Amino acid sequence: MREDPLSGHLFVFFNRTRDMVKVLWWHSGGFCLFCKRLEKGSFRLPRPLPEDGSALTLEAVEITLLLEGIDLKASVRRPRWQPPPEKSTA
């Protein structure tokens, strides 16, 4: 997985046809597993998976919408305020 499974992050796995998702996370001294299988349709990922098999990072709201069946490619994210980058004092 290339990541620490004890970090508290969610690890989301889709099957090949993307009609089933499994979510694995570490909580209170043990692993928890959530599984959802769609009777009809498939999950739509917000962006293509990297070809090298590396991980795709999603925000919590993106995972929530994805599991609810909302196509994130068609959604529009409004710009949010970001703090300016820190200036280096060199």
- The structure tokens listed for 16 are 């090949």
Tens of pLDDT along 46-74?
A: 767 667 766 778 888 888 888 888 877 77
At 34 the pLDDT is 92
d(CA 72, CA 80): 17
Q: Which runs of E-coded beta strand occur in 1-90?
A: 11-14, 20-27, 30-37
Q: What is the total residue count of the chain?
A: 90
Report the percent of the chain where pLDDT is more than 90: 14
d(CA 22, CA 12): 6
d(CA 78, CA 53): 30
What letter represents residue 59's amino acid?
Answer: E
Kindly report the average pLDDT of the chain as a whole number.
Answer: 82
